[in-house]
Every structure is written in structure tokens, then in C-alpha cells.
Amino acid sequence: MPKLKPPVEPGERIQVEITGQSHTGDGVGKVEGFTVFIPLAIAGERVEARVTRVKKTYAHARLEKVLKASPNRVDAPCPVFERCGGCQVQHIAYPVQLEAKRKQVADAFARIGGLENVEVLPVLGMKEPWNYRNKAQVPFGGSRGRVRAGFYAAGSHQIVEFEHCMVQQPENDRAIQRVKERVKELGIPPYDERKHRGVLRHVMVRTGVHTGDVMVVLVTNGPKLPGRQRLVEGLREDIPGLVSLVQNIQPKRTNVVLGPENRILWGEPVIHDTIGPVRFVISPHSFFQVNPAQTEILYEQVKKHAELSGRETVIDAYCGIGTIALCLAEDAARVFGVESIPQAVEDARHNAALNGIDHASFEAGTAEEVMPRWAEEGIRPDVIVVDPPRKGCAPEFLDAAVKMNPDRLVYVSCNPATLARDAAYLKERGYVNHEVQPVDMFPQTGHVECVTVFRKRKEEGRL
């Protein structure tokens, strides 16, 4: 077949009807049947845009003028919204953001999973969809005299500075500004990623919203931290609730924020927070859900679908620091967790002890290696809960899960595309889901989280 030339070229000005919203929040339209993604455009609008990049099957364009505005367009409250890559959909009314996310999940089930009959319920959103994040990770740059700190602009490493981030807990904002002031005052050189020189690369702040604990992690390019003592004293004065001040060393030329080594500059190595009645320690490297209010809602959904009576054996796969496992433990006879990061597994064990839970055990390893072994060893869970990263579950893991013959498999997903793929895989193996409940863990962004339960197809009985 002769290759068709795309109908648009970089630099060209185009007019487009926007027909949908992509999973990253971009407006999507067609020019002579050719797909164009336009950030900041909204479904239902007619816009003028400048083509910036052309690929074989799609192009990107920059919005220049809204010719016909959608009634769903609102003024984005954040002054740096259009430049900062943190949020993508502040310009869309919140109820419409939620419906776009619901549709995104339904499309993934229909197109990727071939599962048109799975019902996608309305997204559980927030009453106040702002100031929710308990964790901020801010790159530092510029020069000794002109320190810059902010978020990267979309698709680049240009730092967009801010004083107040509208999706962060205010404690995180304040801590970042105080670090920036002290770094300036003490002349600590920020990191220059092009030359791989300088000291301060990132600052990470985590807040335990229920305990008030604050952790500040200063990520440096090497072990040196000039002005260390004065910096520690200054930040102890400046940051109310500071419990843990850590230096993390990332000597590599990489986009990975945290390096392997943590040094305690002052205070504790961890902070605490709670989910429901369960208390957790959080260390710099551990995964902890970033939207505490919505985590309670997400976990309620998991509990509802797990239907525990106190007699069940439960596996929590991809368990992080054991949050789901330990929140379910009260209603289960036995809980097993598996997680690939050894430090998180140590935290999970510590968390079990902290809460007096002695019928939960955690194993370090990949879920795809550990589950087949558990299946061989004869572990037969009634309920399996999975909460994998964006790439979803490995087939070896799902094969082992099916072999264990659980009654229910509760799937928590941060990526509708891989959830739909795995749903199709499970359906072929006799496990089906009928409904998906999306939860808005990340308001103002394109991301959506989902919970669904797979059960053995009735007519097939035992597998």
C-alpha cells in the first residue's frame, strides 16, 4: 500500500472541530480524517491552532484562538496553568472533567478490551477538588543568585515557578517556599542538569494530613551540602510540623528523582499518617496514595467488593507499604502481600506490627514471580486484590491468580487502557466484570483511577 502523506505540516495553521478529550486531557479533532491533539481545547469547540509536530498517524498543535467556545470552558484559577505541566484540565468545569474521565474508561473497555457491555459508573469526585496532594516534588534550577523552583512545563524541563500550587496541601507550598528562601540566603548552588553541576536537584515534601507530620527531602547531586547546619536550623524554625529532614543523594544523570541513599539531617527517618483507623509509616521512597480524602473512598470501594466476613484468605498484590492489606486485615483470617520494592516491604511489615496485626505477611519480589510460586505452594485465597502500576498486570501473574481459583479478584487501576486489556485476558480465562467504578484521585489532571471486581463466570462453575 502506498504511504499516505499526512494532510498537515509543522507550522501550518489549521481550523478544527474538537470532538473529544484524550486521556491526557488534550482536545482531539480531525483534519481530513487525520487525528490532531490540541492541549487546552475542549470537546464541542471550534479552534484555530498551529501544528507543532506531525507523526505517521497523528499530529500535535498549539491552540491559538478559540473560534467557538464550549459552555464547559471556565477560567482556570491558577495563574501558571497554561505553562505548567502539572494540571491539564483546570479550564474544564469539574463535573465535565468527571464525565470525560468516565467516557475515557468506557472507551478503553470498548476499544481495547472489546467489552462494550461493562457499565462504567459516574466518577466519584471531590466536593472541593483543590489542595488535595499530600506530596510535592519540585525541581530546583537557575543559579546561585537566581534560584528557580517550580514544576516542569509540559513535555520539557523548563521550570515554571509558582508561589502557591492549587492542588497541593498548603503545608507543602509553604515548606517549598521556605526551602527556596533558605537556599538563596545560604548561597547553596542549585543543580544545572545540562552541565551536571551544582548541588540541590529537587525538594520533596510529604505531609501526613491526619497527623500534621511534615517530611522534607533535599535531593542533592552528591554527598556535599554546603551550609548544612544553618540550613537545618533555619528549616526547623521555618516549617511547622517538621518531623523528618532528609538528604537524598542522586549522583546519576537521570530523570529519576530519588537516588538510593538517604541521610537523616534532623529528626525521624519517616513520618506517620492514617487511612481510616490504620496507622502507617512513610519513608522517602515509599509509594503512598497522594490524595488522602479520595483514598478513603477508593479503599471503601475495595472493601465493598472484597465482601469479607472474617474467614477469608486475601492476597494484596503490588501492595506498596501494605495499605490495602492492612486496611482489609481486620475483616480477614489471613492476608498475604507482595511488592517489588524491598524497602516498601520492610515498611509494610513495620506497619503490621505498628497496628498489632499479626495475621498479615509480606514478601519482596515481583508479583509475576511470587504468585506462581504461591500457587504451587497451595495458597488458595478467597479474594485477590491487585493495584499494579500503569503497565498493569503481567500475564504470568494473571495466570497464577486464575489458577488459585479465587472467588473474587478486586482490581484497582490507575490506567484504564491496561485495566481493559487485563479484563479481556481474564474474561478469556473465565473471570468477568460487569461494572467499573472510577474514582477521581487526581482532579484537574487527565488521570483517573478505577475499581472493579472480577468473578468466576456463573455458567462455568469451577474452573
Ligand X SMILES: C[S@@+](CC[C@H](N)C(=O)[O-])C[C@H]1O[C@@H](n2cnc3c(N)ncnc32)[C@H](O)[C@@H]1O
Burial 367-379 (b: 16+ CB within 10 A, else e): bbebbbebbeeee
Q: Is 437 annotated as a binding residue?
A: no
Contact between 88 and 39 (Cβ < 8 Å): yes
Least Å distance, CB 288 to ligand X, is 6
Applying the rule CB under 6 A, the residues between 124 and 183 that interact with ligand X are none
Q: Is 250 annotated as a binding residue?
A: no
Distance, CA of 187 to CA of 174 (rounded, Å): 20
Q: What is the DSSP string of 243-311?
A: EEEEEEE--SSSS----SEEEEEEE-S-EEEEETTEEEEE-TT----S-HHHHHHHHHHHHHHH---S-
Sole binder of ligand X in the list 126, 175, 319, 419 (CB under 6 A):
319
Least Å distance, CB 334 to ligand X, is 18
Least Å distance, CB 394 to ligand X, is 7
Distance, CA of 69 to CA of 66 (rounded, Å): 6
**Exposed/middle/buried for residue 195 (C-beta within 10 Å: 0-12, 13-18, 19+):** exposed
- Pick the stretch among 119-127, 132-140, 265-273, 363-371 that binds ligand X (CB under 6 A): 363-371
Q: Which residue has the cell 506517620?
A: 272
Distance, CA of 97 to CA of 440 (rounded, Å): 10
347 near ligand X, judged by CB under 6 A? no
Q: Is 387 annotated as a binding residue?
A: yes
449 near ligand X, judged by CB under 6 A? no
Q: State the residue number with the nearest CB to ligand X.
A: 320
393 is catalytic: no
Strand (E) positions, 22-172? 27-31, 34-38, 46-54, 58-68, 119-120, 135-142, 147-152, 159-161
- Pick the stretch among 29-37, 340-348, 421-429, 454-462 that binds ligand X (CB under 6 A): 340-348
Query: What is the per-residue binding string for ligand X in 289-308, x denoting contact by CB under 6 A?
Result: x-------------------
Closest CA to 339 of 395, 288, 291, 405: 288
Residue 312, C-alpha cell as written in the block: 477469608
Cβ distance to ligand X smaller for residue 26 or 273:
273
Q: Which residue has the cell 522534607?
A: 216
**Exposed/middle/buried for residue 119 (C-beta within 10 Å: 0-12, 13-18, 19+):** exposed
Strand (E) positions, 401-442? 408-413, 431-432, 435-439
Bridge partners, residue 337, by sequence = 316, 362
366 near ligand X, judged by CB under 6 A? yes
Amino acid identity of residue 294, one-letter, is Q
Cβ distance to ligand X smaller for residue 43 or 439:
439
Contact between 396 and 368 (Cβ < 8 Å): yes
Cβ distance to ligand X smaller for residue 266 or 287:
287
340 near ligand X, judged by CB under 6 A? yes
Sole binder of ligand X in the list 8, 367, 410, 420 (CB under 6 A):
367
Cβ distance to ligand X smaller for residue 1 or 256:
256
The residue annotated as part of the active site, out of 84, 87, 165, 414, is: 414
Reported residue count of the chain is 463
Cβ distance to ligand X smaller for residue 162 or 288:
288
Sole binder of ligand X in the list 94, 132, 151, 318 (CB under 6 A):
318
Sole binder of ligand X in the list 257, 341, 357, 424 (CB under 6 A):
341
Distance, CA of 241 to CA of 393 (rounded, Å): 38
Cβ distance to ligand X smaller for residue 243 or 344:
344
- Pick the stretch among 70-78, 87-95, 326-334, 381-389 that binds ligand X (CB under 6 A): 381-389
Give the binding-site size for ligand X (rule: CB under 6 A).
Answer: 20
282 near ligand X, judged by CB under 6 A? no
Contact between 347 and 281 (Cβ < 8 Å): yes
Cβ distance to ligand X smaller for residue 289 or 294:
289
387 near ligand X, judged by CB under 6 A? yes
186 near ligand X, judged by CB under 6 A? no
Closest CA to 303 of 400, 418, 383: 383
Query: What is the per-residue binding string for ligand X in 402-431, x denoting contact by CB under 6 A?
Result: ------------x-----------------
Cβ distance to ligand X smaller for residue 157 or 390:
390
Q: Is 425 annotated as a binding residue?
A: no
Distance, CA of 199 to CA of 101 (rounded, Å): 40
Indicate the annotated binding residues.
289, 318, 339, 387
Site residues for ligand X per CB under 6 A: 287-289, 318-320, 323-324, 338-341, 344, 366-368, 387-389, 414
**Annotated active-site positions, please?**
414
Indicate the annotated binding residues for S-adenosyl-L-methionine.
289, 318, 339, 387
